[in-house]
Amino acid sequence: MLSVHDLTVSIGPETAPLDIVAGVSFDIAKGEILGLVGESGCGKSMTSLAVMGLLPQPGPRVRAGRVLLEGSDVTQLQPWQRVEAGHGRMAMIFQEPMTSLNPVRRIGDQIAEAVKVHDGTSGAAALLRARELLELVRMPDPAMQLSAYPHQLSGGQRQRVMIAIALACRPQVLIADEPTTALDVTIQVQILGLLRELCNRLDMAILFITHDMGVIAQLADRVAVMYAGRIVETAPVEALFDRPRHHYTRGLMDCMPSRNSGARRLPTISGQPPAPGTVGAGCVFASRCAGVREPCRVASPPRTGVANGHEVLCAFPLNGGVAS
Amino acid sequence: MSGDAILEIRDLKVSFRVRRAGRKYQVQAVDGASLSLAEGEVLGIVGESGCGKTTVGRSIVGLVQPDSGAISFRGGEMIGAGGTKLREMRLNVRMVFQDPYASLNPRRTIGDAVAEAGDINGFFKSRAERSAAISATLTAVGLDPSFAARYPYELSGGQRQRVGIARAILPTPSIVIADEPVSALDVSVQAQVLNLMMDLREELRLSMLFISHDLGVIGQISSRVAVMYMGRIVEQAATRAVLDQPLHPYTRALVAAIPKPDPTKRILGAIETGEPPSLFKRPPGCAYAARCPLASDRCLVDVPQLRPAGTDGRAVACHNV
């Protein structure tokens, strides 16, 4: 459904570009959730914005690579050009629903606005569809909530409204950028359940971006781990948690408090991620890696297939033992 | 428990007056919370947004004025204290804040920020003594002394939070109130800062009140935990007991909703917990009743009080467990 090839997003002058996303590739099938996980600044949000065609301008630009939606190249098209050209449909939801909603408009009107753009319907018909969408996202009391303002809703309900707006275009691909990070856990579990249900029911491809390995384990079918603008490991979710092959993935899992209950000290990954542009020759993770060897500091590591659907960007991958 | 308690909170009530749509409301942020922190202990307070956990922390250091209740530090009452007594308590009970970006003055150097409590209280007799104290404190939190001359914008989130901790420990306090100190940090950095806090607790013999929404983090650092919901403590017990065998229906939902980092144990769709009621319309009876699978008629009218349940000083506020 969605296919991203060698996507490179750069900032800075044409002559000396800094790659903040460097050669990212992945595919997502219908009815599949790909989890993209990484820490702040690793480039995961930039990847999603580039895929959506929503990179802020002026600023970062797609320097190389292609984004294919149902086989058509949409890389250099703005969202409205994609709609006009009749390409596949994509929608996106964000972390903080309050800043994405207009505070002075009723939510029914905000959903209906998206319906009008995509369905060409107007007035009552659009509102009727808005109500259907609210039912689809399991908003309690949808008919009443059409006339509510965003401030009258809870954080979880606002995120449901954002999902309803995203669904107005009947997307084939939904990009969710940390949609539950601002929510409490008891609400988060409901929104994650809703996304899984919608994915199955509407046969969407979902790109789910998060920093939370727990959320990934709960929701994703496949996982791409991102570090310093690169995807360092891709695997089916069970394989990744069972046998992480990249030292960074393993480190991320090991330092989760919930995997270490009762331990005296938490394992850590020493140091900090490199700033964009400071990456020299060799592996981007070399300076923090527990398994670093001499070649890692001079040559870029190869992308190696270690098992079916399991790839790792490492010259000396872990041979897998269960993560403690 | 109260014998060796260094900090004791009894029946704390805090309310805020807010205006919404031209009308005035009274929001009861904390509605009768009692806690005691033993010497050398780390007590966790866990709960979701709006449950009042931060307000409890801020009441202790005097950043908000409680309506009623008592907060005593080593037997001395803190609410309404003034003069030297207040000053002494403030140096002994220090706070680490959540957002390392908002809690540092962008125009002051790290050294000035760290030394502030000392400057105000006349700790330093000479410039040399002051910079020695800054260096020692920065080293204690794992930063190079050269950071003293830098400004907050030059630091990463993890480094800033280390500075936040350095500010708190400079006057060698006995208690640190840490309000979500690692929530704004990435997991790999979060682990480093948690390790630092555990080390400092041991080295400086700190007692700690650790406020967090994250039961995973609480499980790591605290030995006992109080679970808050809508301004009240609904369960209090040893952390292991709460994680392994939660009693209160809310604690059960909270524990069950933690996204487990194990794809073979998926919980999605298994939990439908509803949403908390509005703070403006606190229901009579138990605040959790509307979401609770165990709710009975009594829960709708009668507020359950925290009562002992089992051993280890465990307590739970529920009619039906």
A217 CB-contact burial (10 Å; exposed 0-12 / middle 13-18 / buried 19+): buried
Is A258–B188 a contact, with Cβ atoms under 8 angstroms apart? no
Give the separation between CA A127 and CA A190, rounded to whole angstroms: 25
Q: What is the pLDDT of residues B187-245, one digit of tens each?
A: 888 899 999 999 999 999 999 999 999 998 999 899 999 999 999 999 999 999 999 99
Find chain A residues with C-beta within 8 A of B191's C-beta.
255, 257, 266-269
B299, pLDDT greater than 70: yes
- B97 pLDDT band (50/70/90 cuts)? very high
Domain membership flag for residue B30 = yes
Kindly give the parts of chain A with pLDDT less than 50.
321-324
Q: Contact A260/A251 with Cβ under 8 angstroms?
A: no
Domain membership flag for residue B76 = yes
Bridge partner residues of B270 (DSSP) = none
Q: Which residues, at least 6 apart from A306, have a Cβ–Cβ distance to it below 8 Å? A: A245, A312, A317, A320
CATH code of the domain covering residue B107:
3.40.50.300
Domain membership flag for residue B96 = yes
| Topology annotation, domain A2-89+171-313 | Rossmann fold (3.40.50)
Domain membership flag for residue B321 = no
- B180 pLDDT band (50/70/90 cuts)? very high
Q: What is the pLDDT of residue B1?
A: 43
Min distance B118 CA to chain A CA atoms (Å) = 31
B114, pLDDT greater than 90: yes
In chain A, where are the structural domains located? 2-89+171-313, 98-170
Is A258–B49 a contact, with Cβ atoms under 8 angstroms apart? no
Q: What is the pLDDT of residue A1?
A: 87
Residue type, A163: I
Find chain B residues with C-beta within 8 A of A156's C-beta.
275
Domain membership flag for residue B110 = yes
A80: tokens are 């409205």
- SS3 state at B66: coil
Domain membership flag for residue B37 = yes
Is B268–A192 a contact, with Cβ atoms under 8 angstroms apart? yes
Q: Contact A37/A59 with Cβ under 8 angstroms?
A: no
* C-alpha closest to that of B216 among B51, B55, B100, B44: B44
B183: tokens are 């929530």
Per the structure, the count of domains in chain B is: 1
Domain membership flag for residue B111 = yes
Query: Among all chains, which residue has been given the structure tokens 């002075």?
Result: A104
Quick one: what percent of chain B has pLDDT higher than 70?
A: 97
ipTM value, please give it.
0.82
Does residue A169 or residue B312 have the better pLDDT?
A169
B2, pLDDT greater than 50: no
Give the residue numbers spanning the domain of B51. Answer: 5-316
Give the separation between CA B243 and CA A278, rounded to whole angstroms: 43
Query: Among all chains, which residue has been given the structure tokens 């065609």?
Result: A53
> What average pLDDT does this structure show over B4-17?
92
Q: What is the pLDDT of residue A263?
A: 62
Of the partner residues B157, B260, B272, the one whose CB lies closest to the CB of residue A190: B272
Find chain B residues with C-beta within 8 A of A262's C-beta.
219, 240
